[in-house]
Structure 1
Amino acid sequence: MSDLAAPLVERHSVPLAVGAVHLTRFRPDGPSRGSVLCWHGAIESGRIFHSRSGKGLAPWLTRQGYEVFVADQRGRGEAPPRPARGIRLDQTDVIVDEIPAAIEACLALSGASRLHLVAHSWGGVLFASSLARFPTLRDHIGRQAYFGTKRSVKSWTLQRLLYVDLIWKGVAPLARGVCGYLPARALRWGSDDEYAGSHRQGADWVRPHPWVDRRDGFDYAAALADGGLPPVLHIAGAADRALGHPDDVARFASECGPHPQRHVTLGRDQGLKRDYGHLDMLTHPAAMQEVFPSLVEWFEEA
């Protein structure tokens, strides 16, 4: 398939008891090689996978023949409800309601029996958490790729002290208390705002606390201790010194219990032209040649 073929784009809403998940569907112009669901991380939306100009991982994968669904979880993009004081949704709702509903919708729309999953940053934590809670979901997942996904942060760098300790765990709770939600866009910390409950839970997990649900005590690490997570390609950026440090990415992989896995660090030491960071592993123009093809190889492995 030509890399210049324009993908067909549809938009779907997956209604929930409160609000809805939005799916942007990229359809190839020929037979599909498989279906992929992409999930974004904290204080961002599905735009991390596709730009308004038609660039990004999702259109690229579609040009390789894959059908791609990009999720905007509630409160991101145009998916309602918008973060505001009094909205009580949190990341447990994403794990328990949004991800299972999105997977079901993607399977129904595509007619596929299985999906590949791709996540950026905190999205991988949410995916793994949902698969830990609902083992039957795993039967519908082929392979996964987590870009810069870590849960707790133990690496000691100056960037970690600034972005994680000072901003995420220090200033952000103050802003959340004043506004009733985390106004990440106004503060220029991210592309989308965050529900108060989601930030509270996420900030708790970033600390080296057990991987246990703040709301109901579900132990995610224990649920995965005996294995069962579908295969994961764990991807870290060599220049990512805080938000997805390679050591923290590797530690999260271990926390997910025994599962088929491969680890990739994107940098010059691995023969690439640059050291990639937390965002540009998906957004840099060179990623199309240096990073994205590894996903197709991973998806196509027997």
Structure 2
Amino acid sequence: MQSSSQLFPVALLSAEFRGDLTEDIYRLKPGNSPDSSVELALTRLGLREGSRGAPVILLHGSFSNRRFWYSPKCLGLGPYLARAGFDVWIPEMRGHGLSPRNHDYDRNRVADYARFDLPAIARFVVEQSAQTPHWIGHSLGGITLAAALGGGYLEEGQAASVALCGSQVSRVYWPLKLPPIAWSSRFLLKRMGGLSGARLKRGPEDEPLGLALETLHWHSLFGSFGEKGNDWWAGLANVRTRVLAVASDGDHQDPAWACNKLLEQFGSEVREYLRLGRRHGFAEDYGHIEMLISKGAQREVWPRLLHWLEHGALPAGQDALAQA
């Protein structure tokens, strides 16, 4: 693998023009985790003409890939931010999209993404852009970002701000607190060998067994958000990075109260909360996906995220915490 980085081997897989944008796709081989076969695809979007602005890293959620953020016709939040002048980077987690399945794919966990993959991505983006990146994560992408910050894996100079969209770890599934049901669930997951996005009608990608078992542990009777020897939840109190949480009244998968609870655990001086829904002046109660992928989101949510990135705050009067 030829390298375009001084950090670790990086291959430029393609460099294309997509209308008014450029699309460069890299494959990183960080070699920083126990599984040396891990390779990560990283797409970079920018204006075809003009200089690149501050970098923004977009993290997709479960059962997803880079197409959550931009379509083949270059529509989506990624191109929107690139056309606004940002240097947009879109990673794909292990075994998703253009990232090949690593040797120990079945054992992949959020702990691996947070400890090894996000820091490697951050280092490469900082190297290429010479600036500290902003981060936006949706669903599991936001949870992974919170794990990386709470676990102390992302350094202060690797995150200028973070936005967590539809991300939470506090919703309680009471049946999983019962040991017999938890044991039965683990048995069934192992028999299934992972989660099929197509079979479950959740998205285009599959999720590994390790991630499913890890999530099950978080919700078990004595489970917690973290790993052995590192309590990510407690660690969030030490984070000082500016943080925004985006939640919606129509998101029944990751309810607004739980997203707010994750936000309030951060020790950041700047914490803002954008709650979507008709009761809060929006045109609709956005669902879990629709909060970022819909015509309504394009009109109402994207401009607010852009304002957050440009000014380090929501437009005046938009912060639901300040209104409470």
**TM-score, normalised with respect to structure 1:** 0.84
Q: 1:54 aligns with which of 55, 58, 74?
A: 74
Q: 1:219 aligns with which of 231, 235, 241?
A: 231
Residue 110 (structure 1) aligned with residue 129 (structure 2): yes
Once the two structures are superposed, the pairs formed by residues 195-214 of structure 1 within 5 Å of their partners are 195-206=208-219, 209-213=223-227
- Contact 1:73 1:94 survives alignment (8 Å): yes
Which residue in the other structure is 1:91 paired with?
110
Q: What whole-Å deviation, never above 9, does each CA across 1:167-187 have from its counterpart, x for those lacking one?
A: xx8997566322322222233
Q: What whole-Å deviation, never above 9, does each CA across 1:236-286 have from its counterpart, x for those lacking one?
A: 012112x22001101111233454210011112222211111001111022
Which residue in the other structure is 1:145 paired with?
163
Q: 1:281 aligns with which of 270, 287, 291?
A: 291
- Overall identity of the aligned pairs, in %: 25
Which residue in the other structure is 1:39 paired with?
59
CA distance in 2 between partners of 1:269 and 1:46 (Å) = 32
Which residue in the other structure is 2:139 paired with?
121
Gaps of 5+ in 1: 162-168
CA distance in 2 between partners of 1:259 and 1:202 (Å) = 29
Once the two structures are superposed, the pairs formed by residues 1-302 of structure 1 within 5 Å of their partners are 6-16=20-30, 17-28=36-47, 29-81=49-101, 87-112=106-131, 114-134=132-152, 137-154=155-172, 173=186, 176-206=189-219, 209-213=223-227, 216-225=228-237, 227-241=238-252, 243-301=253-311
CA distance in 1 between partners of 2:183 and 2:300 (Å) = 36
Partner SS, residue 58 of structure 2: strand
One-letter identity of the residue aligned with 1:32 = R
Which residue in the other structure is 1:166 paired with?
none
Residues 69 and 262 of structure 1, relative CA distance in 2, 3 Å threshold: same
Partner SS, residue 281 of structure 1: coil
CA distance in 1 between partners of 2:278 and 2:191 (Å) = 43
Query: How many residues matched?
Result: 283
Partner SS, residue 186 of structure 1: helix
Deviation of 1:207 (Å): 5.3
- Contact 1:155 1:247 survives alignment (8 Å): no
Output the aligned Cα RMSD. 2.7
Residues 171 and 277 of structure 1, relative CA distance in 2, 3 Å threshold: farther
Q: What whole-Å deviation, never above 9, does each CA across 1:96-154 have from its counterpart, x for those lacking one?
A: 11100111111122232x00000001211211211223366122211111110101214
Gaps of 5+ in 2: 1-17, 31-35, 176-181, 313-324
- Contact 2:282 2:300 survives alignment (8 Å): yes
CA distance in 1 between partners of 2:224 and 2:265 (Å) = 10
Deviation of 1:30 (Å): 1.4
CA distance in 2 between partners of 1:155 and 1:183 (Å) = 21
CA distance in 1 between partners of 2:140 and 2:305 (Å) = 19
CA distance in 2 between partners of 1:266 and 1:220 (Å) = 27
- Contact 2:139 2:167 survives alignment (8 Å): yes
CA distance in 2 between partners of 1:263 and 1:60 (Å) = 22
**TM-score, normalised with respect to structure 2:** 0.79
Deviation of 1:61 (Å): 0.5
Residues 42 and 175 of structure 1, relative CA distance in 2, 3 Å threshold: farther
Partner SS, residue 298 of structure 2: helix
Q: What whole-Å deviation, never above 9, does each CA across 1:12-55 have from its counterpart, x for those lacking one?
A: 11114222111111012312231100111222222211122221
Residues 35 and 155 of structure 1, relative CA distance in 2, 3 Å threshold: same
- Contact 1:152 1:205 survives alignment (8 Å): no
Structure with max Cα Rg:
2
- Contact 1:33 1:65 survives alignment (8 Å): yes
Residues 136 and 123 of structure 1, relative CA distance in 2, 3 Å threshold: closer
Q: What whole-Å deviation, never above 9, does each CA across 1:46-78 have from its counterpart, x for those lacking one?
A: 221112222111011001111100110101112
CA distance in 1 between partners of 2:289 and 2:38 (Å) = 28
